[in-house]
Structure 1
C-alpha cells in the first residue's frame, strides 16, 4: 500500500526537468521534498497527483496506475497548491468551495452543510467566514478553506506544493497541525517546501531532489559533453 513514482522523466520544450526520478509515499507517513528552485519538485508533484503525464515512468497507487486528466481516480490523490487565490474561484464563497467535492459527488445539500461545518471547525475556520468570498478573507483563512476542500474529497494521499510558503507562522502551524492529525489517522502526505527547518520538525523523512546539472535533452548527453 503506497503511492509510488517510478523512474519519472519529464521534459519541457526539449529540456529534461526530471530524469528517472523515483519516490514512494506510504499511508500515515509524511515525506518532505526539498531541492533548489527549478529542480522539478512541483513537476514531480503534478505527475504524482495525476495532473501531468510523464515522458517516461509510471505512478501507481496501491499497485494501480494513476491515470491523468479527466479519467484519473478523482480524490484518491489530491493537491494543495501554494497560492489559494490561484486555485480557488474568486466568485465562490468559502462554504461552497469546501463543499465542492461533495456537490460534484451528488451529496444532498442538507448533508453538505453539516459536513462543511465540521471540516471548517477542523481547519480552524469560524462559521461566519463560510459566507465570504476569497477577497474578503486573509490568505491564511483562504488556504485553510482550500485544505478543507482537499480533505473533503477523502484522499488517501495529499500532496502539498509549498502550501505554507505564503502564510504567517500562526496559519502555517495550524495547517501543519491538521495534517499531522490526518497523517496519524492514515493520510499519506508529501510536503514540498523550501523551509527545511519546518520539514525537519514536521516530516517523518526528508528527501532531496538533486539538480540535473548541465542542460540535458531527452535521450541525449549532457550539454557540452
Structure 2
C-alpha cells in the first residue's frame, strides 16, 4: 500500500514520466568522472585541477585535512556545484545534460547534516528517497526499498518518531536510509560516520561495502583513516585542493605522505591479522619518541606537534 506521504512527495514531480531511466552498469565501468575541476570559493581555489573517476563495484574514500576540498569535490561529483573550470560526467554524459529528475535516478547524495522544517516521522523521511521513481516502472519497489533500507541502517525501532526528535546519530542513520531507498547506481556520502558510535560506524561502512558488492559505485568522505583503510577499495588523499595520492589503501596510506599532508607525524603498519594499514599518530612527550626530524620547523626550533 502506498502511504499518503509517498503520494504527497510524488505530486511534487510534474512531467516525471518523460525522464530517461538509467541503463544497467557493468562492474568496473566508469559511473562518474571529474576532469580538470577548478572551484574557487571566497577568492580561494578550493579545487585546483582535480581529476578522478568512480567505478561501479567500488568504494572510493576521500580523505584529507580540514579544508582540503573533500566535500567540495563530492558536491561537484553530485552536480550540486558548478565548477569554474573542468567537467563532471555522470553515466557517460556531462552532468549538465541531465535534468534534475534524471540525476536523481542516477546518484543519491548524503550531505553532512540533514535538517527538516516539518516534523516528518522517520519512516516518511526514508520514503522521500523513492520520490524520483514516481511514475516509472520501478515505482512498485517503493515499500520494499524503504523496508530494506531501514533494516540495513537499524532504524525500524523509531520509524514513527519525528525526525526532529531523534538524536544526531539516529538522524544520520535515517538520512542514510533515505539515500539507500533511492536505489541509484552512485552513492555520494559526506562524512556519514561523523555522528556515530563505534558500532554504527562499522555498520555504515559495511553497508557501503555491500552496495559496492551489489555493483553500485560509492564515494564516501571520511576523517577516520582506519575506516578508509579497512573498507575502501581506493583512497584519494586531498591536500590544498589537489589530489596528493590515489590508489589502493595499502599504497596510498604512506607514513611520509600522511605526515606531510596532515602536518602531524604518523606511523603506518599492517594489522597483525588482516594486513590492513593502521595509521597511528606519533605523540611526543615523556616516555615517547620525539617527532621525526623532517617534521620540525626548518630552524629546528619547534615541532609541528607542539610541546
Equivalent residue for 2:80, pick from 51, 76, 79: 51
Higher relative contact order (CA 8 A, sep 6+): 1
Equivalent residue for 2:125, pick from 90, 97, 111: 97
Distance in 1 of aligned mates of 2:113 and 2:241: 27
Check whether the contact 1:51–1:69 (CA below 8 A) recurs between aligned residues. no
Aligned counterparts, 1:20-59, within 5 A: 20-59=49-88
Pairwise CA distance, 1:139: 2.4
Distance in 2 of aligned mates of 1:24 and 1:103: 28
Distance in 2 of aligned mates of 1:168 and 1:140: 8
Check whether the contact 1:79–1:158 (CA below 8 A) recurs between aligned residues. yes
SS in 1 for 2:239: coil
SS in 1 for 2:205: helix
C-alpha deviations, 1:14-38, integer Å up to 9, x for none?
Answer: 3211111001110010111111211
Pairwise CA distance, 1:111: 6.5
* TM-score (ref. length: structure 2): 0.62
C-alpha deviations, 1:92-121, integer Å up to 9, x for none?
Answer: 211111111324543699964444223211
Instruction: Between 111-120 and 96-105, report the one with greater CA deviation.
Output: 111-120
Instruction: Note the aligned Cα RMSD (angstroms).
Output: 2.4
Aligned length: 210
Pair member with larger Rg = 2
Residue 156 of structure 1 corresponds to 185
SS in 1 for 2:104: coil
Q: Is 1:120 equivalent to 2:120 in the alignment?
A: no
Mark the runs of 5 or more structure 2 residues left unpaired by the alignment: 1-28, 243-307
Distance in 2 of aligned mates of 1:113 and 1:89: 24
Residue 80 of structure 1 corresponds to 110
Distance in 2 of aligned mates of 1:5 and 1:109: 31
CA separation of 1:207/1:103 partners in 2, compared to 1, >3 Å: closer, same or farther? closer
Instruction: Between 111-120 and 42-51, report the one with greater CA deviation.
Output: 111-120
Check whether the contact 2:105–2:133 (CA below 8 A) recurs between aligned residues. no
* TM-score (ref. length: structure 1): 0.83
SS in 2 for 1:209: strand
SS in 1 for 2:67: coil
